[in-house]
Amino acid sequence: MEGERHVRMPGARRGQMVLIDRIGEYVWHQNGRLRERNVIQYRSSDRNIHCRATLTCRNGHYLSNGQHNHENHRGRIKRFEFVNLCKEMAANSNMSLLNIYIAALRRFPGPPPVTFIEIRSSMNRAIRSNQPPIPASVEDAGRLILKFSALSDGHEWGNAILLGEN
């Protein structure tokens, strides 16, 4: 991921992916797919100043069409990377949210791209998305144990609950 020029990462909205140009430092949003296979079109994320720059990805090769009429998105890219790092650390570690935020600040020199209060709810959502759901009944608990191997300790008692055996 370090050597790639164009990187896809989660955007500000849930389920949205953006394309980041690391050399030109611009953010692109997917605009659509062409009927041809493996062709994706992107538009510049700055629509309020009528930027008409587009980017076409064909079989992994990117072709820029038009020029931007605004400055690059260096601050927004730094914010995306910072938020994604905090979310990833929250989902994969047992550290407190404040310690995760401080550790991420050490990796990003300069002023913080986002405050702790702004990112706290996103980190909590990342933690919750990584946890299994709470079962509503004994049968649901047995299904969850079989589904999530992290909850299973290798015993076959989950099958006994599902099959009604003692």
- pLDDT at site 34: 64
Q: Are 114 and 164 in the same domain? A: no
Q: Give the residue numbers spanning the domain of 86.
A: 74-129
Q: Are 138 and 124 in the same domain? A: no
Q: Are 23 and 50 in the same domain? A: yes
Query: Can you tell me the distance from the alpha carbon of 135 to that of 140, in angstroms, rounded to the nearest whole number?
Result: 5
Of residues 160 and 88, the one with the higher pLDDT is 88
pLDDT, tens only, 53-107: 778 887 777 877 777 766 767 788 888 889 989 999 999 888 999 999 999 999 9
147 close to 158: Cβ distance less than 8 angstroms: no
Of residues 113 and 161, the one with the higher pLDDT is 113
14 within a domain of the structure (yes/no): yes
* pTM of the complete model: 0.61
25 within a domain of the structure (yes/no): yes
1 within a domain of the structure (yes/no): no
157 within a domain of the structure (yes/no): yes
Q: Are 10 and 30 in the same domain? A: yes
> How many domains would you assign to the chain?
3
Q: What is the DSSP string of the chain?
A: --S-SEEEEE-SSTT-EEEEETTTTEEEEEEEE-SSTTEEEEEES-TTTT---EEEEETTEEEEES--SS---HHHHHHHHHHHHHHHHHHH--S-HHHHHHHHHHHS-SS-SS-HHHHHHHHHHHHHHTSPPPPSSHHHHHHHHHH-TTT--S-SHHHHHHHT--
pLDDT, tens only, 1-19: 456 777 787 776 776 777 7
CA 22, 112, 8: angle at the middle one, nearest 5?
30
Q: Are 115 and 146 in the same domain? A: no
Q: Are 57 and 87 in the same domain? A: no
56 within a domain of the structure (yes/no): yes
- pLDDT at site 116: 94
Q: Are 88 and 108 in the same domain? A: yes
- pLDDT at site 166: 47
41 within a domain of the structure (yes/no): yes
61 within a domain of the structure (yes/no): yes
Query: Can you tell me the distance from the alpha carbon of 121 to that of 81, in angstroms, rounded to the nearest whole number?
Result: 17
Q: Which of 62, 22, 21 is nearest to 41 (CA)?
A: 62
Q: Are 137 and 166 in the same domain? A: yes
Of residues 43 and 164, the one with the higher pLDDT is 43
Q: Are 37 and 78 in the same domain? A: no
* % of the chain exceeding 90 in pLDDT: 17
Residue indicated by tokens 């949205």: 16
